[in-house]
Structure formats: C-alpha cells, structure tokens
Amino acid sequence: MPDPSRRMPTFNHVAMSVPADLLDADGRAELLRFYGEVFGWTEMPGMTLDRERMVLRVHSNEQFVFLIADVQPMACPRMDHFGLSVAAPAELYETVERARKFRERDPRVEIIEPEIEDYKVLKLHNFYVRYRLPLMVEVQCYEWAPGVGPSSLPGA
C-alpha cells in the first residue's frame, strides 16, 4: 500500500525530437507564438540552445514540452498525441477558437474539430490541434455524471 505521506508519480513532461531548423530563432518564435496564444505556454529561455533545444513551460516549472533537435526527428501517425485537460466545456471551446483564429493567419495549424463522446458516466468533450510539431495536442473536458468523478474507481 502506498505511503500516504508521499506524493505518487505524476506526468510532468513530453519530449519530442524535431529538425534543427525548427529550433532556429524563427522556428522557435513561431512555436512560441502559437503555443503561447492558444495555450498560454511560455519559453524557459535558460534552457534554449539555438538549433538544439527549446523547452516550453506549461503553466508550471514542473510541466513542460521538451523539444530536442535530431538528425532523425520524430515521425508519427496523424493521431498520435498527448492530452491536456480543461475544467469546463467553455474553456475547451475558447481554446479551439484561439486555434482557429491563429489558423486564419497560418494554414499550417491542423485542427480536428470538437466532439462529445458519451460514455454514460461521463461526457468527454475534446478536440485535437497540431502546429509544426510531430504530436498533436488533444484538449479534453470531462463532464461527469452525478455521483461520479475523477477519483471514482472503475466498476465501483
């Protein structure tokens, strides 16, 4: 049984290898503009090495996206992704709207429009977005049924 005084491991970052050209000054500025405007991420400038590394801070120094240059950068199927959670459906729709507005200026933004998946115990609101990185970002919002929540045990 886990010691209740100790914190259990949590997710804290995702790492992707990308082409070095994406991590030059122009590429980093584009990434920061998109992920900053859409998600509010910021750069950890002390971690940046031109054409080698960029770290995007995801609202905390313990949550980040680590980008590293590689001669054989990550390549993955279209639907490979990592997920972010928002607290309410309105936040999800505000986020997708920011991505749509950015896409008006830069057609390289790829969006899979929002859906609602009904699992009876929860309605999962989600959409996917990608900009210049190999992995998409899935944004989700959980709308729990009465009496069920994020700490509920399956089948309980």
At 60-99, the pLDDT tens digits run 999 999 999 999 999 999 999 999 999 999 999 999 999 9
pTM exceeding 0.85: yes
Of the three residues 74, 90, 125, the one that is the final residue of a domain is 74
CA dist 70 → 21, 67, 92 (Å): 10, 10, 33
101 and 38 in one domain? no
- Over residues 96-149, the pLDDT tens digits come to 999 999 999 999 999 999 999 999 999 999 999 999 999 999 999 999 999 898
Could you tell me the residue range of the domain that residue 123 belongs to? Answer: 76-156
C-alpha–C-alpha distance, residues 55 and 42, integer Å? 9
SS3 track for 138-151: EEEEEEECCCCCCC
- Over residues 17-55, the pLDDT tens digits come to 999 999 999 999 999 999 999 999 999 989 999 999 999
Check the CA dihedral 145-150-154-156 and report its sign: negative
80 and 61 in one domain? no
